[in-house]
Structure 1
Amino acid sequence: MSQSDAILDRLMSLHPKVIDLSLDRMHRLLAALDHPERRIPPVIHIAGTNGKGSTQAMIRAGLEAGGARVHAYTSPHLARFHERIRLAGQLIDETLLATTLEECEAANQGHPITFFEITTAAAFLAFSRVPADYTLLEVGLGGRLDATNVIDAPRLTVITPVSIDHTQYLGDTLPLIAGEKAGIIKPRTPCIVAPQDDEALMVIEARAARLMAPLSASGQHWTARRERDSLVFQDENGLLDLPLPNLPGPHQIDNAGTALAALRALGASADQTRAAVTRAEWPARMQRLTQGPLVEAAGPNAELWLDGGHNPAGGQAVAATLAAMPRRPTHLVCGMLNTKDVLGYMRPLAAQADSLTAIAIPGEPNTLPAEDTANAAQEAGLATRTAPDAETAIRAIATASPESRILICGSLYLAGRVLRENS
């Protein structure tokens, strides 16, 4: 165990709940640290239900192509905690992470604080000490009461598509959830809005109007669409004819449009907009796996893919991606958390997959038992079975259908474990 792992384990015990949405504890700790959030480079704050990570990755690729030094904060991590904090283009190193976490732990003085709150404070502290041109800040959960929402005057806010998820924390209707996401909008600060359902857009527009925040919304102020093998983006400044996003899936057209609208608001050049769609890297979003024991288990004639989507909108995105691929036998290996709308995730996939093998997520206390995942898949119309782990599932699929497309899916926690073992 590394030094930072030991500290992170201690920080997990500072609050009885994993999630407790409030800004009070965050403000207290940041004050004790002399407000590092006030000394970080200009912030681009990103909220939404789906597409936050991909959109952030494209914005970062565009900014860095122009020579900018960019901090980035994202969650959850997949293989190592260090992935959450990127300093001027590089993942935070072990020594700096450990010392920064210890400094926050000392400043907190044992007071109750959630793991996400104290580690977000550590990210702000690190960002404040390394020179950069921009800070890309991804919301953890919601927006209004998220630990990242302590930036009084960001340079830009971005809201990716809003859908139903985390209802136990954000509300059980689209307008309620949209209201939480729109909580990142700040007075007179430009806001980029991805394609939204009308119910969500009305809430976002109302908050922006109250705060006199200039809105740049998909379908009104900009459009992004696929035309043959090109991405066509158009806004009031003109038209861009670009390559298709290198991140796979039809949903990445909308994410790319959102990123391009943000970059245009920041004055990006033509080269930067092209780099945004051709150079972005974002693991576990329809990622083709090419090495490791699971690839070997699949055999030489199979395709092995990985995706961390886990809500109904994520299921729709995966289904659309599979539908756009050349047809071949498609089999899912799925593990999910017990907090998710499992049936809502499964339904869009039923038309695109020949079977689903359910597994539990190893080492995850909130995993849904494989039998429960299989029952939901069966209700959604999928042929189902269970397996004790991903490798067993993949070997069974490969034996029965050697030229399959196999997709491991259902959870970022499962995706993280797969990447740790197959990278």
Structure 2
Amino acid sequence: MQYGFARLPADRHYIIANARAPRCLVDGGDDLPSSDDLVALSIMIASDRIVGVLPPDAAPEGVARIDLASGIVFPGFVDVHTHLDKGHIWPRRRNPDGTFQGALDSVKHDRKAHWSREDLWARMNFSLRAAHAHGTVALRTHIDSAFGQEDITWPLVPELRAAWKGRIDLQFSSLASADLLCERPFASKIAGLVSKAGGALGCVTYRTPNLTAALDNVFALASEHGLDLDFHVDETQDPESRSLAMIADKALATRFEGRIVVGHCCSLTRQPEEEQYTTIARLAAAGIAVISLPMCNMYLQERHAGVTPRYRGVTLLHELKAAGVDVAVASDNTRDPFYAYGDLDALEVYREATRIAHFDHPVSDWPRTVTAAPAQMMGLAQYGRIGAGRGADLVLFRARSWTELLARPQADRTVIRAGLAIDTTLPDYAELDPFVGPPK
């Protein structure tokens, strides 16, 4: 078993001294000494809570002191957009050409052939074990919810939530084409499943015929059942795909009271600049949050055999944030036809987003995109920050600066949950061989 590099007292009464943390994630961070958007601090732990944020050299009497030697501390990560039900099917169902359509077709065939209760439980639980070992404390997954699959997967939701209670706070969102939610008996069934699970009503708006009517139904259904909304939006390089603007207009017209998040939003980057800023202003006015999936979108978007990709699918995060739109980045798919890689490691997501979307020079408050921002989108304000009275859920790194943190995978991190260091041993892929087969 691996527990990282920091040895913590078993009685959960100690101080993590001489540490650094992202200034934007520390309650009262502006009052602490800082450099390069990192504050110097010590964190006092008692039982399962943080009871104090102190100067970096603090050494209270009678309290065990763990010197982090200027190492960086993050709060537990929050991954707001994942697909646990698709995870790890790559060994048995690859994407034949790496395209979006190839992914759709491959998953469709795999779902029909293999997505039993036993198969789903094995793969979803495996993914959660990896996320937990990497330091994730809350996660939302989309659940394919059409063509009868909803009757197999949604009954697993309460069991997964119970199995992971106290380790990962799980949320669930339906996933079906928006036009299917125009069919009243089916729509009511899905809304009932989501409502029972305390989840979000989700759907895909790309390639939806008569999207105006479909959005009317989706917003009415969410309002009727008191549900938040979670959309897969414009996952394409086609500038004519404008469902993002339509969602913003519908939210404003209906004065929708729930939370709305939109993922992907790739086509926004291909539209005229004036239209981009008009749409962004509408999103800000409607209070809609945007989630970018940089690794998956760069894998799928603009893929043509023998052609180097020019347009990569990462939406206008800097412009959105500057306009007051809350933004996050997330894992999306893991070792499936939509993305052949990944391990539900939010630090990897943040590292790649920094490189791809320039979350640096300055770092500013971009660390919020895998912590506090997605926590707010999920209505879980207790996560994503470091402060007195908050849970002692932290991730410790030897790295002392941003370049050290983002240059390596940080495989020796120490993950603290409720004041205790957890086992950070990652699950062995061979465990999935009975379900997905060995590598070919």
Q: Same fold per TM (> 0.5)?
A: no
TM-score, length of structure 2 as denominator length: 0.29
TM-score, length of structure 1 as denominator length: 0.30
